[in-house]
Amino acid sequence: MAKIHELSENLTNQIAAGEVIERPASVVKELVENSIDAGASRIRVDFVDAGLKEIVVQDNGSGIARDQIDLAFTRHATSKINNEHDLFNVSTLGFRGEALASISAVAHVEIVTSSGDEIGTRAEFSGGVKKSQEDSAAQKGSKITVRDLFFNTPARLKYLRSPRTETMKIVDIINRLALGYPQIAITLSNKGKILLRTPGNGKLDQTVANVYGRHIAEKMVAISQKDADFEISGLISKPELTRSTRNFISILLNGRYIHNFKLNTAIMEGYGSKLAVKHYPIAVINIKVDPLLVDVNVHPTKQEVRLSKEKELSRLITSAISDSLIARTEEISGFENLNNKRETLVDQLKFNLNKNVVDTSRSLEVPEVNDEPFQAEEISPKKEEKVVTKYVDLNLPRNDSRYVITPTWNENVTKQKQLTPFSEGKTTSDIISDGDETVAHKMPELIYLGQMTSYILAKNQNNLFLVDKLALERRLAFERIYQALSAKKIVQQGLLTPLVLEFGNLDFMQIKEKIEDINKLGIFLEDFGQDSFIIRSYPTWIKGDIEQSLRSILDRFLNKNKNVNNFFKDIAASQAKKEISTHNLSDAEASNLLEKLRLTSDPYHDAEGNLVLVRVSANDLRKMFKKDE
């Protein structure tokens, strides 16, 4: 058996550092949290080479006294808890006393600090060992410089991601701390270039504008609700403003950013059916709770906590979000929008039962006894009652010949579901009927008959077609825009006044990283500094408000998880939705549109999946007018 021995202090510090300091962002998090706990009202963070070369955190907090420097860099030495009872009543971000000791174990650390009552102190630590300490001029507060992170544990470097990813991790950490403490002015810079600056005036909406951009802050909705144990406040995005990941959801428990799957689920449930699948809101949820109800000592990084009343908190969050969104009566439920997609044959043929198409009402002599639905067996010849004319419910099947809907209706519907273009969940090649002479994705040549306000009437042999004008124009617009996007050279329209687009720091970094793919859309952005781009021209396929359209497209680009070709289709579909049919077509125009429709990739649906046309066969008409009886 191997001999048991006690590990050296240096080795135990490096092991502890492995738990607390995973990457440069971990160093930034621990140091900034210490500054917040020290009561700082201004914090400045600067880093070089994704934080590996240098990280500097400076604050105007309470500072550290000269005789406390050694203790501050000793493991499990802290001023934030005194006994085991304090461990269950933690009101600070840090309390383990591991941060400075762990950082100094894997880097060169310099601290310049002053408590304001005496001359300042400068000290250096390296590899967990104190190198020097001396008096130094210093303002009240602390300035900690971390250099050459992981210099003595090079194996840790291979677990780090790219410099861009590590930089974004730092930005993300500071963003969330800024959102949790809007009363603190926080500045983040990379090699002197400002990435974030918050005003520190305590206004969350202004902090959100600095973190995510003004255009996002303008689309946020305030939430507020409380019960005996919890108080909820914050901002959530409107349902139309989403991201493709949960990374833009910030849950702050007593100012501490935490990960909690159940609370994330509660946020999503608050939106109900208003969000599309795999789309997530931007949210900042501040939760105030008695520290006795929270156990924060379950993970070294303190980002996972244990709540004693998690179910009650989840319900409160869901209720707060739901109530705020219900107040916005102009919003339309996403569930209602689903009903506009490819519908079943019964819904598509409702016009067969519409009195404006065919008068199917048959008057019967029924007694006016009450407003209950008419039942034949209730008619009694022995009673003399006032007789009135009443129309029957066409949706109720009958066993007699008085009604259009017969007991065999459902069977007929099942058979007709196989006919073009009503089949659901099938490819175009599956739903073309055997008698069609056309190939997949094509339709027979239509002969124009006439038009109503919103529809064009056409025929082919013994088939009658009803064509939705708006859906037709959107299908043609989609084809036109997609072809423009796929062209080698996209036609540009110059702007008289260049447009400046501002973004949040993370969005700005992602857009800048993928600028070449964005150029393929015909959108050419120039870095204008301070997380903004300038645009001098735009592709001619963009319609409507240029700034709003560009932001919408770039938001989709940030959410995209598809290849460029499929993304082109998404963009073309979104732009085609802006087509609005506002004019009456001449006979020649209508006939020309029908011919263009026939040559599209899918003449039966627009880019959103809505029906462009429906067909009524001669057989349908015979059944409608009961010619076979």
208-224 tens-digit pLDDT? 999 998 888 988 999 99
C-alpha torsion sign, points 330, 336, 338, 339: negative
Chain centre to alpha carbon of residue 483: 28
* Residue from 602, 607, 615 nearest 417 by CA: 615
Residue 346 resides in a domain = no
pLDDT level of residue 354 (50, 70, 90 thresholds): very low
SS (H, E, C) 285-303: EEEEECHHHEECCCCCCCC
The domain spanning residue 62 has which CATH number?
Answer: 3.30.565.10
Q: Any idea what the CATH number is for the domain that residue 604 is in?
A: 3.30.1370.100
**Does 399 map to a domain?**
no
Q: Is the pLDDT of residue 27 over 90?
A: yes
Identify whether residues 164 and 286 lie together within a single domain: no
Kindly indicate the confidence band of residue 423, based on its pLDDT and cuts at 50, 70 and 90.
Answer: very low
- pLDDT interval class at 435 (50, 70, 90): very low
Q: How far is residue 353's CA from residue 347's CA, in Å, rounded to a whole number?
A: 10
Same domain for 572 and 602, yes or no, is yes
Q: Are 472 and 479 in contact (CB under 8 A)?
A: no
CA atoms of 323 and 317, how far apart (whole Å): 10
Considering the domain architecture, whether residues 191 and 228 belong to the same structural domain is answered as no
Q: What is the pLDDT of residue 395?
A: 53
Q: How far is CA 324 from CA 95, 221, 224, 225, 386, in A?
A: 36, 7, 8, 10, 53
Looking at residue 433, what is its pLDDT? 40
What pLDDT shows up at residue 121?
94
Q: Give yes or no: residues 171 and 229 share one domain.
A: no
- Whether 296 shows a pLDDT value over 60: the answer reads yes
More confident residue, 81 or 342: 81
91 plus 149 within the same structural domain: yes
Is the per-residue pLDDT at 382 higher than 80? no
Whether the pLDDT of residue 620 is over 90: the answer is no
Encoded amino acid at 458, one letter? A
Residue 430 forms part of a structural domain? no
- Do 22 and 140 share a domain, yes or no? yes
Band of residue 16 on the pLDDT scale cut at 50, 70, 90 = low
Domain co-membership, 469 together with 590: yes
- Is the distance from CB of 465 to CB of 450 less than 8 angstroms? no
pLDDT class of 439 with cuts at 50, 70, 90: very low
Residues 189 and 312 reside in one and the same domain: no
Q: Is the pLDDT of residue 138 over 70?
A: yes
Residue 40 in this model has a pLDDT that exceeds 70: yes
* 190 and 231 co-located in one domain: no
Domain span including residue 248? 219-328
E-strand ranges in 503-567 read 526-527, 532-539
pLDDT at 383: 47
Burial class (CB in 10 A: 0-12, 13-18, 19+), 223: buried
- Token output for 535: 């645009």
Whether 106 is covered by a domain: the verdict is yes
Across 165-258, where does the E strand assignment appear? 185-190, 193-197, 220-226, 230-237, 242-243, 249-253, 256-258
Residue that the structure tokens 């702007």 belong to:
495
Claim to verify: residue 174 and residue 131 sit in the same structural domain: yes
What local confidence, expressed as pLDDT, does residue 414 receive?
Answer: 63
| 180 and 237 housed in the same domain | no
Sequence-ordered list of residues with C-beta below 8 angstroms from that of 74, at least 6 positions apart, any chain:
97, 101
> Whole-angstrom Cα distance, residue 133 to residue 72?
13
Residue 51 domain-assigned (yes or no): yes
162 in a structural domain: yes
| Domain CATH for 290 | 3.30.230.10
Distance CA 613, CA 339 (A): 17
Of 328, 356, 375, the last residue of a domain is: 328
Confidence of residue 81 (pLDDT cuts 50, 70, 90): low
Confidence tier at 476 by pLDDT (50, 70, 90): confident
Of 328, 357, 380, which closes a domain? 328
- Counting residues of the chain whose pLDDT is more than 70, the rounded percentage is 72
Most confident of 12-26, 414-428, 497-511: 497-511
Point out the domain boundary residue: 328, 350, 368.
328
Report if residue 128 sits inside a domain.
yes
Assign residue 275 a region: left if phi > 0, alpha if psi is -120 to 50, beta otherwise?
beta
**Domain presence at residue 366:** no
Give the model's pLDDT for residue 91.
66
| Predicted local distance difference test score (pLDDT) of residue 367 | 43
Is the predicted pLDDT of residue 581 greater than 70, yes or no?
no
Which element (helix H / strand E) includes 488? Answer: none
Residues 134 and 19 in one domain: yes
Domain count for the chain, please give it. 3
CB 232 within 8 A of CB 329: no
Helix pair angle (469-486, 564-576), 10° resolution? 140
